[in-house]
Amino acid sequence: MECALKVQNLSMDFGGLRALDDLDLDVGRNEIVALIGPNGAGKTTFFNCITGIYPPTEGDVLISARGKDRLERINGIKPNKVTEKGLARTFQNIRLFPNMTVLENVMIGRHCRMHAGILGAVLRGPSTTREEKEAVKDSYAILEKIGLAQFVNEFAKNLSYGAQRRLEIARAMATEPFLLLLDEPAAGMNPNETRELDELIKQIRDKEGISILLIEHDMKLVMSMSDRIFVVDYGRKIAQGTPNEIRNNPVVIKAYLGEEADA
Amino acid sequence: MDYFLELFLGGLTRGSIYALIALGYTMVYGIIELINFAHGEIYMIGAFTALIVISVLTLMGMNTIAILVIAGVVAVIYSSAYGYTVEKIAYKPLRNAPRLSALISAIGMSLFLQNYVRLAQTPNFLSFPNLIPDFEFIKPYAHIIGSTEIVILITTAVVMVLLTILIKFTNTGKAMRATSQDKTMAMLVGINVNRIISITFVAGSATAAIGGVLIASHIGMINFYIGFMVGIKAFVAAVLGGIGSIPGAVLGGFILGWTESFATGYVSSDYEDVFAFLFLVLILIFRPAGILGRSGKHEI
């Protein structure tokens, strides 16, 4: 299978604490992969290592953009470069730009795909104007897809919780990723919103051809949409497989529910 | 009434220069939460650069308006280069250090630049020629406002409009606002945060240089120390308006300018600074975040 992301032997130390220990993970093209595990297992640290926020202590993060067959090593490069290479992510706690409008939040995502420098922005040549018009159009199109088109001029901070979560996804989409990393996208959502999210994520994969790696605690959501699941605990991978395999894996059940008491 | 109007316009002129320099403080604070104490020195360097260019070009016998424009442009470029370099040398390595470290570094940079100019140029006052011609249409109002003041007011207004367009409507401006709201997230949507911080320093330094050339033309004297007092005053203006807020810096500048102008005109010029700082204390007692400042998170 063609790979979008391949992580090999990834370890991350914070002082004497080993937060991630020799982790392997891969995400195929057009695949939805879930990363699950108890709280504090190192899932978010794993995302931070992939997106360049922390340089991993050991191991490799390899990516391959659409249409390229060679894997490229990206660990150690800066977050904005990682985004330019085609990885986008959302956060566990919402991190929008609260005092900017919905449209501006999405347009910021287009920033890294635009070429006009500061001089062009001030002098406003025809190419700059064209580029900005296109950015507005593209951002509208994304908001349309995500279902936020009616809120374009609203400040991000005034949106409902569910809508803010969707806006985060919209902003991530605007960077034109081939791989989207979602950190607990359903956290705090009601069952209705979760169902909509489920559909949205599947659509992003099916219609845009974006591979997805997500961290999620909502098992119903994980089981219904993932192609494969990786389970981590204490920074180590303890299992991987299809939803069915994971559901019946005794190691996973133990990690989640604790040691079975002897009857 | 004429006297009042004269004081009012005098305050407006003074205030616009404070505002121009306060913009640099407030933009830098908005983006990296640092009080850039070297900012006053950037303004001083702008004035010195302009003086050197003016002296050379006058010897070559150029037209005065052309000299002024060229001097302004060179001062802007030179000061921007200084602002850019100061950030790279003194603040960037301390990006993740406690904020106090960067503040001390800023004070050090300020002292360094002052003394560098003192050694490289001269500790004495130098006279700065006023190259702004007397406009004919201003003659009937000459007792209220001079042409230098008019030029200052117009230039300030133009700079402020340009800056507003830059921040509100351009892509770079959006990136600046995003960076000031959440740096990590800005990086993750693909913004080169270091570049945006550099642009902020360059924009702030450029406005300070324009302020430097204008105020030097207005007062007619410069030395290596002028950056200190004007820097402090502009900083007061920024705090008065609410540091981190761009309209706040402009408003703060005007309020400070008027306070000084009226205090000088109606009370005594000896009390100029007393009133300015008294006003600051009063405002901070009743509105600790400044007039337009919001408590909590600052942004540009």
Chain A positions touching chain B (beta carbons under 8 Å): 51-53, 78-80, 82-84, 88-89, 91, 95-100, 104, 107-109, 111-114, 116-118, 121-122, 132, 135, 171-172, 174-175
Nearest by CB to residue B191, choosing from A98, A111, A116, is A111
Looking at residue B142, its pLDDT comes to 73
Looking at residue B107, its pLDDT comes to 93
Same domain (yes/no): A162, A188? no
Q: Residue type for A208, please? A: E
Per-residue tokens: B54: 């003016």
At A69-109, the pLDDT tens digits run 788 888 888 898 899 899 999 988 888 999 899 999 999 88
Task: Return the top range by mean pLDDT from A40-49, B122-131, B198-207, B213-222.
Answer: B198-207
At A118-165, the pLDDT tens digits run 566 666 677 777 888 888 888 999 999 888 989 989 999 999 888 999
Q: Residue type for A205, please? A: R
Enumerate the residues of chain B whose CB falls inside 8 A of the CB of residue A88.
Answer: 188-189
Domain's final residue, options A132, A156, A176: A176
* In a domain? residue A137: yes
pLDDT at A113 over 80: no
B291 half-sphere exposure, CB direction, 13 A CA radius: 20
Contact assignment for A99 to B162 by CB distance below 8 Å: no
Looking at residue A123, its pLDDT comes to 65
Same domain (yes/no): A8, A35? yes
Contact assignment for A97 to B170 by CB distance below 8 Å: no
Tell me what percent of the residues of chain B surpass a pLDDT of 70.
Answer: 98
What gap in Å lies between CA B176 and CA B171, rounded to an integer? 9
Q: What is the mean pLDDT of chain A?
A: 87
At A122, phi and psi to the nearest 5? -80, -40
Please give the average per-residue pLDDT across B259-278, as a whole number.
Answer: 85
pLDDT at B132 over 90: no
Nearest by CB to residue B191, choosing from A80, A88, A116, is A80
Please give the average per-residue pLDDT across B234-241, as a whole number.
Answer: 90
In chain B, beta strands by DSSP E: 126-127, 221-222
Give the mutation candidate from A48, A54, A97 for the B interface (greatest B CB count, under 10 A): A97
Domains in chain B: boundaries: 2-286
Please give the average per-residue pLDDT across A22-51, as a whole number.
Answer: 91
* In a domain? residue A70: yes
DSSP A39: T
Same domain (yes/no): A195, A137? no
Same domain (yes/no): A78, A114? no
Give the mutation candidate from A44, A49, A51, A80 for the B interface (greatest B CB count, under 10 A): A80
Looking at residue A124, its pLDDT comes to 65
Query: Residue B8: which H helix or E strand, with range?
Result: helix B2-32
* In a domain? residue A214: yes
Give chain A's domain count: 2
CA angle centred on A100, ends A96 and A101, rounded to 5°: 100
Contact assignment for A53 to B184 by CB distance below 8 Å: yes
- The minimum CA-CA distance between B181 and chain A, rounded to whole Å, is 6
Nearest by CB to residue B175, choosing from A108, A122, A132, is A108
* In a domain? residue A91: no
Nearest by CB to residue B189, choosing from A78, A117, A171, is A171
Same domain (yes/no): A104, A219? no
Proportion of chain B in helix, strand, coil states, percent, rounded to 5 = 80, 0, 20
- The minimum CA-CA distance between B170 and chain A, rounded to whole Å, is 6
Residue B24 neighbours by CB distance under 10 Å: 31
pLDDT at A263 over 70: no
What gap in Å lies between CA A95 and CA A165, rounded to an integer? 9
Same domain (yes/no): A75, A101? no
B40 half-sphere exposure, CB direction, 13 A CA radius: 25
Please give the average per-residue pLDDT across B194-209, as a whole number.
Answer: 94
pLDDT at B77 over 60: yes
Give the mutation candidate from A99, A103, A108 for the B interface (greatest B CB count, under 10 A): A108
Same domain (yes/no): A184, A68? yes
At A231, phi and psi to the nearest 5? -115, 125
What value of ipTM does the predicted structure carry?
Answer: 0.71
Nearest by CB to residue B181, choosing from A88, A99, A132, is A99
Nearest to residue A64, comparing CAs of A242, A227, A211? A211
DSSP A261: P
* In a domain? residue A58: yes
Nearest to residue B192, comparing CAs of A84, A236, A17? A84
Query: Residue B169: which H helix or E strand, with range?
Result: helix B147-169
pTM for the full predicted model: 0.82
Please give the average per-residue pLDDT across B253-257, as a whole number.
Answer: 92
* In a domain? residue A63: yes
Whether residue A97 contacts residue A154, with contact meaning beta carbons closer than 8 Å, is answered with no
What gap in Å lies between CA B135 and CA B123, rounded to an integer? 34
* In a domain? residue A92: no
Domain's final residue, options A176, A199, A227: A176
Contact assignment for A175 to B162 by CB distance below 8 Å: no
Same domain (yes/no): A203, A248? yes
What gap in Å lies between CA A35 and CA A165, rounded to an integer? 19
Instruction: Please give the distance of CA A74 from its chain centroid, rounded to a whole number.
Output: 16
pLDDT at B296 over 60: no
Same domain (yes/no): A111, A143? yes
Q: What is the mean pLDDT of chain B?
A: 88
Same domain (yes/no): A233, A254? yes
Identify the residue with better confidence: A253 or B161. B161
Looking at residue A1, its pLDDT comes to 66
Chain B positions touching chain A (beta carbons under 8 Å): 162, 165-166, 170-175, 177-178, 181-182, 184-193, 199, 299
Please give the average per-residue pLDDT across B190-201, as a whole number.
Answer: 92
Nearest by CB to residue B174, choosing from A51, A111, A174, is A111
pLDDT at B135 over 80: no
Enumerate the residues of chain B whose CB falls inside 8 A of the CB of residue A107.
Answer: 171, 174
Residue B269 neighbours by CB distance under 10 Å: 10
pLDDT at A260 over 70: no
CATH class given for the domain over B2-286: mainly alpha
- Residue A73 structural domain: 1-86+177-263
- The minimum CA-CA distance between A151 and chain B, rounded to whole Å, is 19
pLDDT at B245 over 50: yes
Q: How many CB pairs under 8 A join A and B?
A: 86
CATH number, domain at A214? 3.40.50.300
Domain's final residue, options A158, A176, A194: A176
Same domain (yes/no): A56, A169? no
What gap in Å lies between CA B280 and CA B286, rounded to an integer? 10
Same domain (yes/no): A253, A236? yes
